A and B are shown apart, each in its own frame.
Chain A
Amino acid sequence: MLSRIAESLFWMNRYVERAEGMMRMLKINYVTSLDRSEKENYNWSPVLQIFTELQEDEIEKIKDNTEATLKYIILDKSNTNSIRSIITKARENARGVQDHITREVWESINEYYQKINSKKIEQLLESGEQLYAITSLIDESLYFYGVAEVTMPRGEGWNFMNMGKFIERAILTADILDIKFNDIEYDLNNPMDIPYWKNLLLSVSGYEYYMKSYHTGLQTQNVLDMIVMNTNFPRSILYSVKKISHIMEKITHEQTDADANLEKVIGRLRSRIEYSDLDTIAKIGLHKFLEEIIDDVYNFSDKLSKVYFAYH
């Protein structure tokens, strides 16, 4: 497969995954912003800090304005990290590889693109139907994943698509976790209860699973366990890293030195998470622990693109 094609497939999925993660965060924050108890001091500043490159004074201007914030993060063309910009990039990548993806995959990404560029979404965001707008955009990414799963032939292209998806997911989950724990100063013994963690769990679609699986112990530690190491939970960091490492094995047919090196990098990360427990994390410090994971994933991604996408 051409390196350019592999790279486009990789980025197509990274962008879709990023958009999905962001939209989920927006959804939860939007819902929260409506709760009476939160209303008085709710503002969009943390979300704007994670997802945009706005300066503090600019954030200050729109942080109390839900409509302006949503429009900036979802629709603003001048915002290079807006959902619209991200989906445009995903579609551009798809357009250049049309003969390597199925017609259905192309049509689904095209549909997402048409929707986010439609007047209708803008109108919904300006009216009281913001939640409907957000959910209908989340549905597009779910549709994309479903269509890809059902129609794409397995093989090199498929592997690079999934590689993009799980690299992005690992980073996104670690980022979200880091921000939420920052608020409680990374104190693993903090007695924060469910209401505090609910939003985080909801934003990674893990609330129900959490309630079913964790009954005893300190919530703070349980939440950490689930989102970092629970391999039954498809958005945990370990789940994503394990996926990356499986895909890596499939991609490397002939064992070159470069391949072996890549497998080593991801294998090391995987074991480090697998053999960590609360004590070791506490010893290193959660922030540092998460930071190292993120660095390792980026490092792996860099190496991967040098070996497979780079134009020698």
Chain B
Amino acid sequence: MIFDKYNTRPNFWDEMALPNGDIRSHYRSIFNQLNSINLDILNKKEEIAKKTFMNQGITFTVYSENEEGIERIFPFDIIPRIITASDWDFLERGITQRLKALNLFLKDIYNDQQIVKDGKIPASLIVSCPHYNREVFGIQVPYDIYVHIAGIDLVRDSDGTYYVLEDNLRTPSGVSYMLENRDVTKRIFPELMNEYNVRKVSDYPILLHNILVSLAPKQIQNPTIVLLTPGMYNSAYYEHTFLARYMGIELVEGRDLLVDNHKVYMKTTRGLKQVDVIYRRVDDEFLDPLVFRPDSLLGVPGLVSAYRKGNVAIVNAMGNGVADDKAIYTYVPDMIKYYLNEEPLLKNVPTYRMEIPEEREYAFNNMHKMVIKKTNESGGYGMLMGESASDEEIAKFKEAILKEPRSYIAQPTVKISTVPCYLDGKLVPRHIDLRPYALCGPDGVKLVAGGLTRVALKENSLVVNSSQGGGSKDTWIID
């Protein structure tokens, strides 16, 4: 009976257990099943899971300041995280609404800028955003879709309310782990999966492929679609090969492509072949050395000109960073009201912008209750957890904030929820978030029922990023 000793953390929402120890109804079955397995079998299952990831070389690369990147296996916890259908349906509606508004915002901000003219968002905030990309101003994109793939990060507060932590609208990663995690669960818990009606996630590559095909500039039978990777030293290279393989598209690097007369070609052993759609996993600033960083070797000179002429579709669109900037994030609820005339379904985490003196003062006086984030960074880099930070670290951040206030925001530490994890033979609560993957195509927004649940494996840690020692779980949406 391993579950007997499961103690939730007081004042946090636990996905499985109520504060009095009772098990929520949707976890009851898995709870009973796990209780009847003996530890040896559970350990064996964990072993199989680990081995599967090892053998397949499912790794990511961790960077630190002084060292070379190190290849690591992304830790996987065998106990699935379960979300009820009613919760999911709400999240789905909330994310769909959010993405509609964000797509309209991007179209607006790169064309008429009506939202700025109407005084809903200060022009200075847009202009000062490093990812507001003037080079793509006025470019028309197919079906007015800018965000084709979004990985919106959600967390649950102590009363169980879902909050959007950030909108990842540029090149969100991790979807291969969602798919691989499910494959492993099928291997180790077939009996549990039989018992629950778990919605499937395996359609993701097909759905994405269909969208990529639909974006081809010319209506041709077999458009040439490529996945553009920064190369094998990138931390997500495994995912790039995974997706290219599953969609049957060519995995290319910048040096495989060239632009001639505003058309993009790839260099093959049979000569040049025109490329119609590029699913890029290279950041904007590296995409075209003629327009962005001239020292970039990862991009393709002339790509922006081909894009502007409409000869190639690019997924996600260039310039999306202006919409997931952490300071502009505070305006997403306003965007929803402005563009859709609807009340936002999903809540934002309250956010203090450091360039506004009163807000900054408030944050400075409450540093221990705050999380400080850089507005343009992701992956848990450039972040301060006030709760556990030393005075020295806090002083350093204050100094940095005063130097560039626009580059920082502060948020009160969200008491993010916990789930049971099987670690070292024990069942212990660990903090989690949720990244569902949403796809926008000509037929609207579609979510694969599931997502990546990231886990902070260190006890009491609230940082779930893989670069900071996080792991992941399979995520079940059940009917």
Residues of chain A touching chain B, judged by Cβ–Cβ distance below 8 Å, are 1-4, 6, 92, 95-96, 98-99, 156, 160, 251, 253-254, 308-309, 311-312
Task: Report the Cα distance A2→B256, complex, angstroms.
Answer: 7
Q: Is B268 touching A2 in the complex (CB atoms < 8 A)?
A: yes
Complex partner residue of B256 from A3, A95, A253, A254, CB under 8 angstroms: A3
- B248–chain A nearest beta-carbon distance, Å: 10
Flag whether B46 is at the interface (Cβ < 8 A).
no
Flag whether B458 is at the interface (Cβ < 8 A).
no
Flag whether B255 is at the interface (Cβ < 8 A).
yes
- B153–chain A nearest beta-carbon distance, Å: 29
Q: Is A2 touching B244 in the complex (CB atoms < 8 A)?
A: no
Show 10 residue pairs from A and B whose CB-CB distance is below 8 angstroms, ordered by the A residue.
A2-B252, A2-B269, A4-B253, A92-B232, A98-B241, A99-B251, A309-B269, A311-B258, A311-B267, A312-B258
Flag whether B250 is at the interface (Cβ < 8 A).
yes
Q: Is A4 touching B256 in the complex (CB atoms < 8 A)?
A: yes
Flag whether B231 is at the interface (Cβ < 8 A).
yes
User: Given contacts A2-B267, A3-B269, A4-B255, are A95 and B232 in contact (CB under 8 A)?
Assistant: yes
Q: Is B258 touching A99 in the complex (CB atoms < 8 A)?
A: no
- A48–chain B nearest beta-carbon distance, Å: 31
Contacts of A3 in B (CB 8 A): 256, 267-269
Q: Which residue of B lies closest to A7 (CB)?
A: B269
19 more A-B residue pairs beyond the given contacts A3-B269, A312-B272, with a C-beta to C-beta distance below 8 A: A1-B268, A1-B269, A2-B250, A2-B256, A2-B266, A2-B268, A3-B256, A3-B267, A95-B232, A99-B241, A99-B244, A99-B251, A156-B269, A160-B269, A254-B270, A308-B269, A311-B258, A311-B267, A312-B258
Contacts of B245 in A (CB 8 A): 99
Task: Report the Cα distance A309→B256, complex, angstroms.
Answer: 10
Q: Which residue of B lies closest to A3 (CB)?
A: B267
Task: Report the Cα distance A6→B270, complex, angstroms.
Answer: 11
Q: Which residue of B lies closest to A311 (CB)?
A: B267
Chain A facing B: main interface SS: helix
Task: Report the Cα distance A95→B57, complex, angstroms.
Answer: 11
Task: Report the Cα distance A96→B231, complex, angstroms.
Answer: 8
Task: Report the Cα distance A3→B244, complex, angstroms.
Answer: 17
- A147–chain B nearest beta-carbon distance, Å: 16
Contacts of B232 in A (CB 8 A): 92, 95-96
- A140–chain B nearest beta-carbon distance, Å: 19
- A179–chain B nearest beta-carbon distance, Å: 35
- A110–chain B nearest beta-carbon distance, Å: 8
Task: Report the Cα distance A1→B256, complex, angstroms.
Answer: 11
Task: Report the Cα distance A309→B253, complex, angstroms.
Answer: 14
Contacts of A160 in B (CB 8 A): 269
Contacts of A4 in B (CB 8 A): 252-253, 255-256, 267
Task: Report the Cα distance A99→B258, complex, angstroms.
Answer: 22
Chain B facing A: main interface SS: mixed
Contacts of B253 in A (CB 8 A): 4
Q: Which residue of B lies closest to A308 (CB)?
A: B269
Contacts of A312 in B (CB 8 A): 258, 267, 272
Contacts of A98 in B (CB 8 A): 241
Task: Report the Cα distance A105→B231, complex, angstroms.
Answer: 20
- B300–chain A nearest beta-carbon distance, Å: 12
Contacts of A156 in B (CB 8 A): 269
Contacts of A254 in B (CB 8 A): 270
Task: Report the Cα distance A311→B269, complex, angstroms.
Answer: 10
User: Given contacts A96-B232, A98-B241, A99-B251, are A6 and B258 in contact (CB under 8 A)?
Assistant: no
**Binary interface encoding of chain B residues 246-284 relative to chain A, with 1 for a CB under 8 A from any of its CBs, else 0:** 000011110110100000001111101000000000000
Q: Is A311 touching B241 in the complex (CB atoms < 8 A)?
A: no
Contacts of B250 in A (CB 8 A): 2
Contacts of A99 in B (CB 8 A): 241, 244-245, 251
Contacts of B244 in A (CB 8 A): 99
Q: Is A6 touching B269 in the complex (CB atoms < 8 A)?
A: yes
- A256–chain B nearest beta-carbon distance, Å: 9
Task: Report the Cα distance A251→B258, complex, angstroms.
Answer: 24
Contacts of B268 in A (CB 8 A): 1-3
Contacts of A308 in B (CB 8 A): 269
Contacts of A6 in B (CB 8 A): 269
Q: Which residue of B lies closest to A156 (CB)?
A: B269
- A287–chain B nearest beta-carbon distance, Å: 36
Task: Report the Cα distance A99→B255, complex, angstroms.
Answer: 18
Task: Report the Cα distance A95→B233, complex, angstroms.
Answer: 10
Task: Report the Cα distance A251→B270, complex, angstroms.
Answer: 10
- B267–chain A nearest beta-carbon distance, Å: 4
Task: Report the Cα distance A265→B109, complex, angstroms.
Answer: 59
- B293–chain A nearest beta-carbon distance, Å: 21
Contacts of B258 in A (CB 8 A): 311-312
Contacts of A1 in B (CB 8 A): 268-270
Those 7 A-B pairs whose CB atoms lie nearest each other, nearest first: A3-B267, A308-B269, A6-B269, A1-B269, A95-B232, A99-B245, A96-B232
Residue among A1, A2, A98, A160 with max Cβ neighbours from chain B (10 Å): A2
Task: Report the Cα distance A96→B255, complex, angstroms.
Answer: 13
Contacts of B266 in A (CB 8 A): 2
Q: Which residue of B lies closest to A106 (CB)?
A: B57
Task: Report the Cα distance A266→B241, complex, angstroms.
Answer: 36
- B237–chain A nearest beta-carbon distance, Å: 9
Q: Which residue of B lies closest to A92 (CB)?
A: B232
Residue among B252, B253, B256, B268 with max Cβ neighbours from chain A (10 Å): B268
Task: Report the Cα distance A99→B238, complex, angstroms.
Answer: 10
Task: Report the Cα distance A150→B255, complex, angstroms.
Answer: 32
**Binary interface encoding of chain B residues 356-373 relative to chain A, with 1 for a CB under 8 A from any of its CBs, else 0:** 000000000000000000
Contacts of A309 in B (CB 8 A): 269
Task: Report the Cα distance A312→B265, complex, angstroms.
Answer: 11
Contacts of B251 in A (CB 8 A): 99
- B241–chain A nearest beta-carbon distance, Å: 5
Task: Report the Cα distance A274→B252, complex, angstroms.
Answer: 42
Q: Which residue of B lies closest to A309 (CB)?
A: B269
Residue among B231, B266, B269 with max Cβ neighbours from chain A (10 Å): B269
Task: Report the Cα distance A253→B232, complex, angstroms.
Answer: 31
Contacts of B231 in A (CB 8 A): 96
Task: Report the Cα distance A312→B269, complex, angstroms.
Answer: 11
Task: Report the Cα distance A1→B232, complex, angstroms.
Answer: 18
Task: Report the Cα distance A3→B258, complex, angstroms.
Answer: 13
Q: Is B252 touching A311 in the complex (CB atoms < 8 A)?
A: no
Q: Which residue of A lies closest to B265 (CB)?
A: A312
Task: Report the Cα distance A159→B20, complex, angstroms.
Answer: 67
Task: Report the Cα distance A2→B258, complex, angstroms.
Answer: 13
Q: Is B272 touching A311 in the complex (CB atoms < 8 A)?
A: no
Task: Report the Cα distance A58→B239, complex, angstroms.
Answer: 47
Chain B, 21-74, CB within 8 A of any chain A CB? none
Q: Which residue of B lies closest to A254 (CB)?
A: B270
Task: Report the Cα distance A96→B253, complex, angstroms.
Answer: 10
Q: Which residue of A lies closest to B56 (CB)?
A: A103
Chain B, 225-247, CB within 8 A of any chain A CB? 231-232, 241, 244-245
Contacts of A311 in B (CB 8 A): 255, 258, 267
